[in-house]
Amino acid sequence: MIQISVFLENKRGKLAEVTKVLAEHGIDMCAISIADTTNFGILRIIVDDPEKALRVLRQAGYTVNTTEVLAVEVPDRPGGLNRVLDILSKGDINVEYLYSFVRRPAERALILFKVNDLKMAKEILMRENVSVLTEDDVNDLCSK
């Protein structure tokens, strides 16, 4: 799963400038998260067309990178996320950060993980029958 990461200065209106660029190019966001510090922020988004998003944002002059993240679907009920984290922790996988979004009416939550070892994390989750989503799965969710 490709995540788009954008460097932002911690200033008023900066986020809106980015979302405007995406809107103007008809790019759909499925998930969004912002990490912030006193001076700067990092915007992380999952979009329907990451290649295009990368291109248009770079053209607009932003510092943009792509990152491989893990998309996992969990039941939206107590313990749903905990089970996944447990498996990862037992498998000695470090989670750098995560964010999520919940979809109704499906009542499943989509969790996006940045981990230190993506391949291994995918393997052990699938072994435990956790549903790891592909790009297409997420796009489907997005467009529904």
Which of 27, 46, 47, 64 is in the footprint of other proteins by CB under 8 A? 64
Q: Is 56 in the site for other proteins (CB under 8 A)?
A: no
Residue with tokens 């447990």: 86
- Binding window for other proteins (CB under 8 A); candidates: 23-31, 57-65, 79-87, 131-139: 57-65
Residue type, 116: N
Which of 24, 51, 59, 94 is in the footprint of other proteins by CB under 8 A? 59
Q: Is 96 in the site for other proteins (CB under 8 A)?
A: yes
Q: Is 58 in the site for other proteins (CB under 8 A)?
A: yes
**Over 60-111, what HEC string results?**
CCCCEEEEECEEEEEECCCCHHHHHHHHHHHCCCCEEEEEEEEECCCCEEEE
Strand 40-47 and strand 29-36: the pairing is antiparallel
Which of 23, 26, 51, 65 is in the footprint of other proteins by CB under 8 A? 65
CA distance linking residue 55 with residue 132, whole number of Å: 27
| Binding stretches for other proteins (CB under 8 A) | 3, 5, 7-9, 14, 35, 37, 39-40, 42, 44, 58-59, 61-65, 67, 96-97, 114
